[in-house]
Homo-oligomer: A and B are copies of this chain.
């Protein structure tokens, strides 16, 4: 934990944080999954050609598919990896089944046990017990899962090791410049991830003032002392949704799923939406203002009457 945590103004940009904090061979985790999934971050990691990363998490959809398809991942420690509804995780399948473009080592967990790894990591302890996992092949094929007798009851429990990834990217609705972050709706394990990672980067739809944060401290999901940098990144989860901000772009997801059925199709998609877009702004321009505004408008319409 460096002095970055101690600054009051941590605002910077996406290319800089990916360049600075994601090093070849490091471990990362991405906040959200469907809700607030860090898809723009995944595209930037690909754009900067980061290599040999270990991805830790519970579930991942678009962001994971982009990273595994682009060959950035050496290892995946996760419970669920797929696109869902509009199609399968074809890049994940190709990587694991055929080693194309490379075969990452996969360590399977369940959603709960994968989450407990971050809970342990967030508290600076080495492991956490659970009643899940024991009676399955998850434990058989994952040597990092151990068992022990609960010393109080004598009953067997499984243990999972703490996860402390080197970097976490967490996309939120709102944050102040020092990193106090508000998450609306689906939280996933993000308050816990923010604490478990060695460096936590907040990307956000909007920067708000510290004053606004102070009006309701119970809404702050992540306090500034765990945060290294803050990046304004509107529509940073597209085509996934952000509760209260924009709805899923299913046609975009479906196009991704259809094209990624073949390796060539996915490479074409990658050319079009990653390599040919210099940055996130270029990506949004390509999507078009009409499209992103419509996704925001439909979300607002469905959420009318809820706190914002």
**A contact set with B: CB distance below 8 Å:** 124-131, 146, 148, 150-153, 155, 157, 159, 161-162, 183-185, 187, 214-219, 305-307
Contact = CB atoms under 8 A, between A and B. Distances in A.
B127 A129 contact: yes
B146 A127 contact: no
A184 B217 CA distance: 8
Contacts of A124: 131
Nearest to A144: B152
Given A125-B131, A125-B150, A214-B306, 20 more contacts: A124-B131, A125-B129, A125-B130, A125-B157, A126-B129, A126-B152, A126-B153, A127-B129, A127-B151, A128-B128, A128-B129, A148-B148, A151-B159, A152-B159, A152-B162, A183-B218, A215-B306, A215-B307, A216-B307, A219-B307
Given A217-B185, A306-B216, A151 B148 contact: yes
Given A183-B218, A218-B185, A306-B215, A152 B161 contact: yes
Contacts of A214: 306
A122 to B, nearest CB: 12
A240 B157 CA distance: 41
Contact of A155 (B126, B184, B305): B126
